[in-house]
Structures are given as C-alpha cells and as structure tokens.
A and B are shown apart, each in its own frame.
Chain A
Amino acid sequence: MSINLTLLIVMGVLYACGIYLILERSLTRVLLGLMLLANATNILILSTGGYAGLAPLFDKETGPDAYSDPLPQALILTSIVISFAVTAFMLGIIYRTWVLARQDEIQDDLEDVRVAKTPSFDAEDDAIVPLETSEFAITPSNTSDHGHPEATETPNTASTQEGGSA
C-alpha cells in the first residue's frame, strides 16, 4: 500500500478550488471549475498507481512492479481527451448564451419561482359547483343553464355542493 500525500493534497486543493468556482454565477468560472475538477480527478486516479515508476514501455528484463501502473494511465488518457471535448462543448454554450442573452451569468429559473408562488386554489378541484338535478336540461330553470353551459362551471353561482349536507 502506498499513498502519496503530495498528490492527494494537490488533488484536495484542486477539488476545493473547482467546487468554489462551480458555485459561482459566471458561466466562465463554472467551466473553469469543471476543468479543475477534471484535473483533480485525474490526479486522484494517478495516485492509485502508487509509487512513481518506469514509463510503461515493455522490457523483458523489467518486472511488472517496476513500471508506473499502466491501467490508471489508460483511464486518465481517456479522461483528458473527453475533458477537451466537453470543454469545447461548454465553450460553445457560453458563446451561444452570450449571443442570445448578452450575458455570461446563470440566471434563476423564473418558471420555478412562479411555481413556488402558485396558490393552491385550482378551479378544477376547488371551485364551487352548483347542484345539478338533471342530466336532461329541458325545464325552464335548466334551459338557461343550457344556453350558457359555462354557467354551471363558474364558481359563486351557488353555494350548495353536490353530495354535501344540504
């Protein structure tokens, strides 16, 4: 077991800085934060390989222990290139946001704010419906309803509720 504290401290600082940055409102800083997080993660993976060793170029005379661990390296290599692609994509997003909205800042979602302020009254559930005493509207009192079908659905036309304790 070998645990390289230098690498881990560097990793910790990178994580801390990355987290600090992604909690910002500026999109650019968020992207920089993500890059720092990617770098931190690469170091974390690297440190699992243990002591620094020979470059993993095969030599018959060398024992497998002497190399620097090749598996984390393969993983990191993948990660580096993917980070590049993701960074480019995020840059595209930042540019697009700038062109469309002239800002580089993350805005609060107005729709969510609106939802939070929604009253719980819902006409479908809470409006008062008049008592209906027929499915066939032919008596005079019902024909007026028939002429204005919405009248049966507006609140306040009557206070009796069907099934209530009339």
Chain B
Amino acid sequence: MITVLAITFVAATVAPLIFRKLGRNAFYALAAVPAAAFVWLLFQYGPVYSDGGIEEVLPWIPSLKLELAFRMDPLAWVMSLLILGVGSLVLVYCARYFKNKDADLGGFGAQLLAFAGAMFGLVTSDDLLMLFIFWELTTILSYLLIGYARTRLAARRSALQALMVTTAGGLAMLVGLIILGQAAGTYRISAILDQAGALMTGPMAGAVTAAVVLVLAGAVTKSALVPFHFWLPGAMAAPTPVSAYLHAAAMVKAGIYIVARLAPGFSESQFWLPVVLGLGLATMLVGGYRALRQTDIKLILAYGTVSQLGFLTMVVGLGRPDAALAGLGLLLAHGLFKAALFLVVGIIDHQSGTRDIRKLSGVFRSSRALGVVAAIAAASMAGVPPLAGFVAKESVFEAFVHYGTGDDAPAWGIWILVGLVIGSILTFAYSARFMWGAFATKPGVEPTPFKPIKPAFLAAPAILSFLTIVYGLWPAPVDTWIQPYAALFADRPDAVDAGHLALWHGLTPALGLTAITFAAGAAMFYGRNLVSRAQGLVPDWVDGDRAYQHTIGALDDVAVWVTGRTQRGSLYFYLAVILTVAFAVPATALIVANKPLPDGIYFIDPNSPLQMVAGAGIVVGALAAVRANKRFLAVLMVSVTGYGIALMFALQGAPDLALTQMLVETIVLVAFVLAMRSLPAELRDRTGGRLRVIRVIIGAAFGITMIFVAIYAMGARVATPISLDFPRLAYEGGGGLNVVNVTLVDIRAWDTFGEISVLAIAATGVASLIFVRSRGDRIKTSEAVPEGSVGRRTDVDRGSRDGATLAVAKKFTDVSRDAWLVAGRTLAPERRSIIFEVVTRLIFHSMIVFSIYLLLAGHNLPGGGFAGGLTAGLALTIRYLAGGRFELSEAATVSAGTLLGTGLATAAASGVVPLFLGGQVFQSAIIEFWLPVFGDVKFVTSTIFDIGVYIVVVGLALDVLRSLGAEIDEHFEGKGAPLAEEEDAADHSVLAGEAAESAASGKGTA
C-alpha cells in the first residue's frame, strides 16, 4: 500500500513534465497509474478476504505515537475499488474533455492524480492522525481543483467556500480524533475499534461521546449534509470531471467512509443515531426538493448528490448488519451511476455549450448512444430494475422495514421509513427531470446544435453504465465483498441476519415500497408544471448558502471593528494600554495576595546617609525635566538626574559605576546638543487636557507599583546571593582586584561580548541614519581645505548688533599664526576660540594617556575598558568642539567602522584563542614577567578582551561625533549635501541659515 501511494504521488509530481511532452494525451499516462493500482488491488482480494486484511506499518515519529500505519480490510478494499476505478476512468475522460491549449493542464492533472492517491491513503490509513492528514490533503486538493478556472470569480469563491466549510469540520474532527486517541491510549484505528465498547462505558465515556460527535461534525461537513450542504452545489464551478470524481464518487464519500469505519464500534454512542438519521434524512429531503427546482442539469445532479449523501449516511450509520450491507451496496451503485451522469453532463456541455434545460432540446436525437448511457445511469439512480440502484435500494428498504416495524423498533423508526420513501420519490422525480431536461425534444425550443461525440470521449461513462447493468444482474460478487464488513455488526445483541444483495427477493414489503415510489415519482414528473408552481409558492426558507455568506460577512465586520478599535495607529494609545496592563496586573496580584510588608525596610542607609541629598536632587531634576518646555532645558534636567545617579553610585560604594555614568552623561549631553541644534527651541505639548490627566495617573500608578513590586520582590529573597563568591572568584580565577571589572571581562564575559556587539550595531545604525547612503567611513583630510572656510556666516547684516560681534570676532582670530590645532585654521574666524584651542592642545594627550591608564589599571582599580573608551571618546569630543570636523578627522585617522570591527575581532580572539590552547572559551590566564622600569608585571589575558571593549567604545563615540556632529555640520553648510534630493533649494538655504545660528548656540551650551 505504501508503495502504491508513493508511486502515485511521485507520478503526480512529475506529471507536469509529461504534459509538456504529450499535451492532453498525458492524461492517458496518468490514468495508467490508478489503473495499475486497481489491478494490484484485484490481486489483493485473496489476502484481504481470507487472511483478515493486510497491514503495513512504518515508524515515523515514535515520540508522538505517529506511524505510517496502513491496513487493507474489506471496507477499505471496496472503497479503493471505487476510488481507483473511477479515478482512472475520469482521467481517461479528461484526455478528451480538455483542449491542448487549456492553461495549467499539467498542474491540474497532477492535482487530480494526487487526489486519487490521497483518497486511497485516506481509506487505507490505520492511524487516526494519518487519516486526518489525508483527509486535509483531499480538502486542499479539492480547493485547488474547484478553483481550476482561476479567472472566474465564481470558481474562486466556491473553492474558498468549500475549503472553509470542510476545514472547519476537519478541525472539529481533529479534536475528536485526538480525544479518541488519548482516551484509547493508541492512535491505531483497528485497536480503537476493538476496545470501543470499553471506551464508551469506561471512565472517559463523556469525552469519548463528545469525540464521536466532533468526528461526525467532520463527516457532516465533508459529505455536505444539512446544514453544510450548500458548498457542494457551489463546488459545481469546478470542471465537470472534477465534479464527477470529487463531488460524486470519491471525496464526498470520505464522510460516509468515516461513518462506516466507526459504525462497528461507536454506532451505539449516545448522539450517533440522532445525528446520522436526523441530518441524513433532512439532507435527503432538502437535496431532493432543491434538485427539482434547478434548471442547470449539473445542479440537478449536485443536489441529487446531496440528497443521496444524506441517504447513504443514514443507511451506513444505522449500525445493523443488513443496513451495513445495503449501505455499501448503495455506495458502490451511487459511485457508478453518479460518476457516469456527471461525465454525460460534461459531454453535453462540451458539445453543445450549455447545461441549461431551457435551452437544451433534441439532444437524444443527436446522440443516441449518449442518451442510452445516461438513461441507464439515471434509471439506476431512480432505482429501476434490473440495475445496481434497484438492487441496493431494495436492500435498504428491507433493512429499514426491519428497523422501523420490527418488534424492538423505536417509536420514530416508522417515520424514518416514511421519510426514506418520500426521499426516494423525489429521487425518481428528479432523475426523470434530468433525463427529460437533458435529452428531450421540447416544443418551442429550437434543437441545440450538437457536435458528434468521439468514442474515446464516451468510453468512460459507457463503461460505468455497463458496470451498473452487470452489478444489477449479477450482484453476488458485490455481496461477497461486503458480507465480511456487515458481519462486524453480527455480534450485537439485537443483530438481524444481514441478508443478501439480490435482484429478486420475492414479494416483500420493500418491493411494495418501490412500487409506491415509482408511481408517485412518475406522477410528480408528469405533473411537473404543477409541482414547480407549488414550489414557487413556498417562500425561500433558510438558505445555507446565504447563512454562510452572512456568517463570513459578520466575521469580516467583527474583524474590521476589532482592528479599528485596537489598531488605532496612535502610539500614545498603544503605550497607554501596554503600560496600564503592566502596572495593573502586578498591582492586582499584590492587593489580592495582601501580604504584610517584609522586614528590613529602612529609610536612611546607615552607611551613607548622604544618599538622601543625592536622591532629592534626582527627584527635583526629574520633575523639572517633565515640566520643562524648552528643549535644552529638559535635556539638562535629565542630565541632572544622570549626574545625581552617578553620585548615588559613588555613595553606594560603586566607583566604577560612578565614573562610567559621569563620562556617559557628559558625552550624551554633547550628542544631544549636536543632534538637536536644528530643532526648534520650544517643546510644544499638544497632548493636553484629559490625556494629560491620564498620563499623570498612569505614570504615578506605574511608579508606585514598581516601588511595591521591588519591596516585595526583595523581601522574597531567601537564597544567599551568588555574588558573595565573586570577590574570591575574581581574585583567584580572574587574577584581578577590581571585582566588577573582572566580572565584566571574565566571569560574565559572554554578557559583555553581547553588549559590545550591540554597541557596534547601534553605532552603525547612527551612522546609517545620518549618512543615509553609506557608513561614511571615508576619512577627509584638512590639507586641501581653504583657511577659515568652515562654518562661515554670510547672512548677517553688518549694521546689526550681531554683525558687530562678528566683526570683533574676526579681528581677533583672523591672524594666520601657527595653529594650536592641526585643522583649527580651517574653521571660520568667528567660530574659533583661542582659549578653547589652547586648552584642548594641553589636555587632549593627557586624556588619551589617562584613558589608556584606566583601561590597563581597570583590572585592579576602578576603570576598565568602558571607562577608558569613554574618556578617549570625550577627548575626541573636545578636539571636535574646538577645531571643527576636520580637526576630528585629523585626530582620529582610523575610520569608526574599522575601530568597531577591530574591537569586536580583538574581543572575539580573546575568546577563541584559549580553545586552541586547550582551554575553554574566554578562559583567562595569568602571565607574570619582568619589565624594565615597571618591574614585575602580572598580565592577565582577559585584559585583551578589555582592550577590545575599549576600541569598540571609542568607535561608538567616534561614530556619534562624526554623524551627529561632523556630518550634520556639512548638511548645514550644504556642501556634502547628501540630503539635497529630499529638500528643495529654498528650504535648504533657510535650513542652512537657521542651522548655523543654532550650531553656534549649541557650542555655547556645550
């Protein structure tokens, strides 16, 4: 079986290639695959029937109890017969149905063949999950096949509708299957059915009952039972061969198959019979009624199929031996005649160009052979002897007469029988309507032009009709095939004899019912005008299709509503919701838990009471930052909190932190001024009023919640802090006295490595945001830059106060003396400050040396790579502020990108090299040696890592200065003008003027 499946799917995969070579004749090649499988199946008759079935199991995912388990028993064998046989005939038919120039034939053929494989897999699976996989495969392939005519809206919509309905049922079924599998402890279908009785009475009885209902929901949607029947007529937008195969013979039978498969075990489950009989009967009647109203012969068949599916569900699901026999007999008969009828419809459509019974006339005269083939199939559908339909329906009546009138019959058994007879009358009537509509010569309608049919086209329906006759005349083989399945019900306490499928049972009540059916059906057909007028009077009752449209429409409405309410596009709204949840949930938890405050709360730290003062400063700074309505004032106030925190760190006993925080705060302040010099000084506040109150509430609530969360979290600590070991670890393992620094470069080196990677990324991000097109790593030298050209102000009125100041500035600085700075001369005279230049000259090198000292000393004393790097960055900042952007490029002759890369590489190397020396990643070693002047030196290799950190931080600082400083300068001067394409000229000159002003004030502030 696995081989058959594999071959089918492989053939489907290569099918498009075959089509490219052979055109539509490739369908013949594809048809050979299920045909060969059919022959193989015939050879399996012996093993299946005498040895109790064949089994193939291939483990797949043992941990999920998922295995490729297949099992061929009589039920699967009979189903496969239908699937493979009809499958190959439909493929043969396709070869003449389609034209060579039809689009996507390869894909279509592949899907159709794959569908045959999926159906075969579905009926042979012995694992619930495998069954589900094949089930969903058929759904998806059905979607693709219905939507074959991609340019037609009707086809696309019907395809989607079928997909939605059947997958919804499929999901319900999946839940049911999983419950069943878990309750039974196995997913093997045969094993579950063996213990079905125990399951339904055991401890999981309720769950199993629910599971059975869920599985039935899957079957109901797949087999298009009321109230989900509407998708099947909609699916008639598919090419007719697809309708013949999927929507008559195979896929819609999957639901029937599930019912048949589970019936031996679960038909006594609580809700089984109500669902199966109730929905089955309703579907049979609704389908038959609707079929009589259609004017499209394909839709007559579609509703007829709906009706028959309801019929089949009732019979197969009844759970009695005679009904089981009759049910499978009917299933085969239905497959034969319905497929044949659909193929006939396809031929009529193909040859005449319409399926409308109001336009078709005289078709029988044009093609008698077609008429005969169709008549046999339609008669079988109506139940006329001596055809397959008659044989099967006779047995069905027999079974339901027993069920409805026997000694132990339920009260409603007789009504089921009455319903069945009415359904059969409707079936007879629409069968006649179909034949009349498709073939009759109608008065007043001109004969339909009809092209002659090639024998190859007619072959498939002819073979099916021939089999219908054979089955009717000689039902014994079919009877033999099904008896073993019917015998599964024989051990029930109320079991009756299964009986036999036969053409002649004698003068039984069933025969009488058949006679009634014929008489009433014929009467309905002759009074068809009366019937349709009566039907026209009945108001449109609940329409499944419209209900579906409304459901989907309501879903759309809800989706739009929910999206509109939640996805408002307002950052304020999102943040308000997120933050409210962030404080409300913990606050609620705290209030509900209602625990006493933990011990050990103190207000003043005895070791450093000065914290109170620093804290007060921070609080004032923070509040002032909130109140400030000037941009730089707000920035300064935030800096106040930052410096206050640096003080707090110092008071807490954290010199490294205090040092780093100071340096960072300073550089951040410079960066702020540089980046914001062109923005307006005022901070406008447009979110006032009610929103302001909400903001205050959220902010205050968040802050208070955090205080209590922190108190309780710290009060909940029970373990000894791991950091108590750190000093010892740092000294013995890391070889350093500064515990914090050793933690960073050794104990938690991975952390730091991640951090410097982030720094490199952020630095690159800053550069990209400002330079836009590149990282701007090109170094610009100052040699070619003319004297006093950078930042020259040109727009100042000489007579104004500003102009006078400028004139004085020029007088003082317009002297071509030797520069204190390398590129100081490039700066416009009014920009230069001699004091600043001299001071810079004096302290720059000291700062660089100091930064290196911090780096190297950091292992034992406060300092380290971060502090060192930031100090170097600050030194560069001073150079830039004093000497302008060319001074910066002269000071840092290596590009920022190179620095970042080198730093990361150095840090990475310090991690990797120990591996080659037999150590672990980031393992450090202590090397002691003697140096002149320094004496004995103890070098710890983790210092190399710290050097990497240092370089990365310098790179970051340099990137900030180059981007937010130098490049923005250049934007203002309109020289590099990388933004020119985004600005129009007028805008630009205004910008430059403004910018120069604020640049000056910016430097003043810094």
Contact = CB atoms under 8 A, between A and B. Distances in A.
Interface string B221-239: 0000000001001101101
A12 B707 contact: yes
Nearest to B626: A17
A134 B727 CA distance: 87
B722 interface: yes
B136 interface: no
B795 interface: no
B671 interface: yes
A31 B67 CA distance: 56
Interface in B24-82: none
B995 to A, nearest CB: 11
Interface string A31-68: 01001100110111011110111111111001011011
A108 B568 contact: yes
Given A23-B695, A118-B560, A68 B652 contact: yes
B354 A139 contact: yes
A19 B570 CA distance: 16
Contacts, number: 428
B236 A36 contact: no
Contact of A28 (B152, B598, B683, B762): B683
Contact of B739 (A56, A124, A165): A56
Interface stretch (B114-122, B643-651, B805-813, B817-825): B643-651
A81 B964 contact: no
Contact of B293 (A44, A76, A166): A166
A108 B569 CA distance: 5
Given A11-B707, A26-B683, A67-B739, A82 B545 contact: no
A161 B545 contact: yes
A112 B574 CA distance: 13
Nearest to B683: A26
B356 A133 contact: yes
A109 B546 contact: no
Given A1-B600, A165-B290, A91 B656 contact: no
B928 interface: no
Interface in B520-570: 540-541, 543, 545-546, 549, 552-553, 556-557, 559-560, 563-565, 567-570
Contacts of A137: 353
A88 B762 contact: yes
Contacts of A42: 645
Contacts of B648: 7, 10, 43, 46
A39 B543 contact: no
Nearest to A87: B668
A8 B707 contact: yes
Given A11-B707, A42-B645, A85-B956, A142 B353 contact: yes
A40 B543 CA distance: 63
Contact of A13 (B299, B349, B703, B724): B703
Interface in A127-162: 127, 129, 131-139, 142, 149, 152-153, 161-162
Interface in A59-109: 59, 62, 64-65, 67-74, 76-78, 80-89, 91-96, 98-100, 104-106, 108-109
Contacts of A142: 353-354
A154 B1005 CA distance: 67
A71 B349 CA distance: 82
B579 A47 contact: no
A112 B540 CA distance: 41
Interface in B597-642: 598-608, 611-612, 615, 618-619, 622-623, 625-626, 631, 634-635, 638, 641-642
B545 A3 contact: no
Interface residues of A, number: 123
A7 B230 CA distance: 69
Given A6-B604, A96-B769, A124-B156, A1 B762 contact: no
Given A56-B738, A77-B660, A88-B763, A95 B675 contact: yes
B519 interface: no
B752 interface: yes
A32 B862 CA distance: 29
Given A19-B698, A78-B752, A164-B543, A92 B766 contact: yes
Interface string B311-333: 00000000000000000000000
A152 B152 contact: yes
B730 A58 contact: yes
B685 A24 contact: yes
B960 interface: yes
Given A28-B631, A80-B657, A120 B698 contact: no
* Chain B interface SS verdict (over half): helix
B784 to A, nearest CB: 28
Contacts of B654: 46, 55-56, 68, 73, 76
B714 to A, nearest CB: 5
B725 A115 contact: no
Contacts of B762: 85-86, 88-89
A62 B724 CA distance: 12
Nearest to A109: B569
Contacts of B352: 139
Interface string B905-922: 000000000000000000
B751 interface: yes
A162 B744 contact: no
A44 B653 CA distance: 15
A48 B714 contact: yes
B773 interface: no
A4 B601 CA distance: 6
Given A58-B727, A96-B770, A166 B294 contact: yes
B676 interface: yes
A144 B153 CA distance: 17
B642 A93 contact: no
A127 to B, nearest CB: 7
Contacts of A94: 675-676, 679
A83 to B, nearest CB: 7
A59 to B, nearest CB: 8
Contacts of B571: 106
Contacts of A165: 290, 293, 540-541, 543
B963 interface: yes
A71 B726 contact: yes
A147 B68 CA distance: 52
A163 B236 contact: yes
B678 A113 contact: no
A131 B355 CA distance: 11
Given A20-B626, A36-B625, A85 B763 contact: yes
B419 interface: no
Nearest to A34: B638
B153 A124 contact: yes
Contacts of A24: 685, 687, 695
Contacts of B149: 135
Contacts of A109: 569-570
Contacts of A123: 153
B707 A81 contact: no
Given A3-B601, A20-B699, A88-B960, A139 B683 contact: no
B939 to A, nearest CB: 18
B619 A13 contact: yes
B766 A162 contact: no
Contacts of B230: 163
Given A39-B642, A84-B668, A118-B560, A20 B695 contact: yes
A69 B638 CA distance: 27
B723 interface: yes
Nearest to B654: A73
The 9 closest A-B pairs by CB, nearest first: A112-B569, A116-B564, A109-B569, A68-B653, A16-B703, A92-B769, A85-B762, A71-B723, A138-B353
11 contacts: A1-B717, A3-B600, A5-B603, A26-B683, A52-B611, A74-B740, A81-B660, A81-B759, A85-B763, A122-B556, A135-B149
Given A47-B714, A115-B560, 12 more contacts: A3-B710, A10-B648, A15-B699, A15-B703, A21-B626, A36-B625, A74-B740, A84-B664, A85-B763, A95-B769, A139-B352, A164-B545
